[in-house]
Structure 1
Amino acid sequence: MTSPLPLSPSGSRTPVGVGLKSQHYQDVLQTSPALTFFEVHAENYMVPGGAHRRYLDAISDKYALSLHGVGMSLGSAEGLDEAHVRRFRALVEDYRPWLISEHLAWSRRGDTYLNDLLPLPLNAESLEIVTRNVSHLQDAIGRRVLVENPSAYLSFETTDIPEVEFLSALADRTGCGLLLDVNNVFVSATNMGWDAAAYLDAVPTAAVGEIHLAGHALKDIDGVPLRIDDHGSRVAEDVWELYRHTIARLGARPTLIEWDTNVPSLATLVSEAGIAEGIMRQEAVAREVDRV
């Protein structure tokens, strides 16, 4: 594999980005927002040609890209779909993205793809499966892949490895990085009754190549509160507090605002990214003061 890319393609200490939405293509090209990168879902651009690829070509001339897969199914016991790997590799070769990521999840059985990121039990057997699949993907594309922690709504009886330990072991075995979704940590910790700050403190510092932030919904399920990772609102203050905690520990990391439902204006997304940028700048100043 090639070496991981540096912290920021522009040398910035506050690398922030947002998810690229088709309704914002024109705004991005006309207004050139003050962002370091845009994230795109790989599966939306796997068909060559067409308007989406033309816009992505133009935007990638001005901004770095983060390529985020949602259908690789790294948790599939049957292995990866070779046709899907080839399509993914072609995108990597076409756009040479700054960051590449996928999910700790499964979404395929045979030739049937399920429109969801499904959980898997975290144990020695699944660690072997995911290790094999991540290694295969990285070897196929010649790049380091960041693996994202999921949102949790239930636990498996066969799970016997805590999630943060599972991901740390995966990084050790494969050399992959981690995409640390702080909103997912908060959602899972609240739903499952564990300590979000302790999870974040246990994440291996060197492995974190990117951070995701998003909004979530609070539902009442038969009198039981449940947080749903729906990416449909501003980042909650509780999640911002965990992000501050994370940046204080890790330092500046590429940070993306995800907003996939009830998509607002580009200006709103840029405003949310600006909050993350401000937190990273504040932490950089604090570190300088501590060194004096």
Structure 2
Amino acid sequence: MTSSLSGFGLGMRREHYAAYVDGSAKVDFIEVISENFMVEGGRPLDTLFKARSNYPLALHGVSLSVGSADGVRSDYLERLRQLVDLMEPAVVSDHLCWTRIGNFNSHDLLPLPMTEEALQVVCANIGRAQDALGRAMLFENPSSYIAFPGAMTEWEFLAEMVSRTGCRLLLDVNNIHVSATNHGFDPIAYLDGVPWRAVGQVHLAGHSVGQTMLIDTHDQPVPECVWQLYAAALRRAGDLPTMIERDDNIPDLAELIGELDTARELHAETLAFEAAA
């Protein structure tokens, strides 16, 4: 099964649940963290089911851990499949990273070396996950703070991952900016290497400035540098379903909708300019 999103969405956060449950939030789709709803019945699922009746849904996971050398966990896949079957989301996504080994879970999205060995592990795990869910998944490019020696660039790794598994990409534009700044590569070269036919969703977010690097905190508005990179992505890909992530320092819903309107306007202006060129 392969589905898709369209338009402009927000992450459904607890502070704004009521607007999603009654359908008054002016968004085209919603996204939730999968693990928050991988539970047995109860209020969380009831809330999501009501919101799902008003908006197309994206499930976005943080614990699949496709980079784990000991494989993805069967019990996790079973619970995720139950949620997918119940909610029938438009897309199911996770991250290109590893979060655990054995019974140890770091609760962080840890980077991988861009090597053939790591690629083989990732592809095997993606294949198993997609077989278990009966659908292609989307995988998000990471933000990173350390870089390992590797045989390929991150965008080459992503392109090969898509080619071998049939998965799709969730392109996080803020993550590209954060990693490019931290590691000194050209974000435009990254965009030029993206297999755009495989991109099924875009994330926009803000970040914080640390002492020596940028930190992907999702607690700030989308900055101008990310808006500019988003426009560059649109010039290469055309129409892309776009979502703004805000996970901390969460403002009123009206403020987030206003920020989403900025994405709508930039999207329309960029595509109109490209069509006229």
In which range does the TM-score fall when normalised by the shorter chain? over 0.9
Q: Give CA-to-partner distance per residue, 1:35-88, whole Å, 9 cap, x none.
A: 111110100000122221111111000000010010000100100100000011
Question: Which letter maps to 1:209?
Answer: G
When the two chains are superposed, the root-mean-square deviation of aligned CA atoms in Å is 1.3
CA distance in 1, matches of 2:75, 2:23: 37
CA distance in 2, matches of 1:156, 1:285: 40
Question: Which letter maps to 2:162?
Answer: A
Map of 1:272 onto structure 2: 259
Greater shift after overlay, 21-30 or 245-254? Answer: 21-30
From 112, 119, 134, give the equivalent of 2:104.
112
Asked if 1 retains the 8 angstrom alpha-carbon contact of 2:5 and 2:29, the reply is no
Asked if 2 retains the 8 angstrom alpha-carbon contact of 1:79 and 1:133, the reply is yes
Stretches of structure 1 that go unaligned for 5 or more consecutive residues are 9-14
Secondary structure class of the residue paired with 2:272: helix
Residue 259 (1) aligns with residue 246 (2):
yes
Secondary structure class of the residue paired with 2:185: coil
Map of 1:213 onto structure 2: 204
Map of 1:163 onto structure 2: 154
1:141-152 to structure 2, matched below 5 A, reads 141-152=133-144
CA distance in 2, matches of 1:230, 1:41: 16
Stretches of structure 2 that go unaligned for 5 or more consecutive residues are none
Shift of 1:288: 3.9
Q: Give CA-to-partner distance per residue, 1:220-249, whole Å, 9 cap, x none.
A: 1xxxx3100000010010000000111111
Shift of 1:7: 4.9
Residue 85 (1) aligns with residue 77 (2):
yes
Map of 2:28 onto structure 1: 36
CA distance in 2, matches of 1:193, 1:283: 27
Map of 2:216 onto structure 1: 229
Asked if 2 retains the 8 angstrom alpha-carbon contact of 1:149 and 1:184, the reply is yes
User: Sequence identity, in percent?
Assistant: 43
1:1-292 to structure 2, matched below 5 A, reads 2=1, 4-8=2-6, 15-30=7-22, 32-157=24-149, 159-220=150-211, 225-290=212-277
Q: For this pair of structures, how many residues does the alignment match?
A: 277
Provide TM-score, normalisation by structure 2: 0.97
Asked if 2 retains the 8 angstrom alpha-carbon contact of 1:16 and 1:273, the reply is yes
Greater shift after overlay, 105-114 or 118-127? Answer: 105-114
Shift of 1:136: 0.7
Question: Which letter maps to 1:168?
Answer: A
Asked if 1 retains the 8 angstrom alpha-carbon contact of 2:234 and 2:271, the reply is no
Distance 1:58 1:177, change over 3 A: same
Question: Which letter maps to 2:33?
Answer: H
Question: Which letter maps to 2:73?
Answer: D
Secondary structure class of the residue paired with 1:100: strand
Question: Which letter maps to 2:246?
Answer: W
Question: Which letter maps to 2:114?
Answer: L
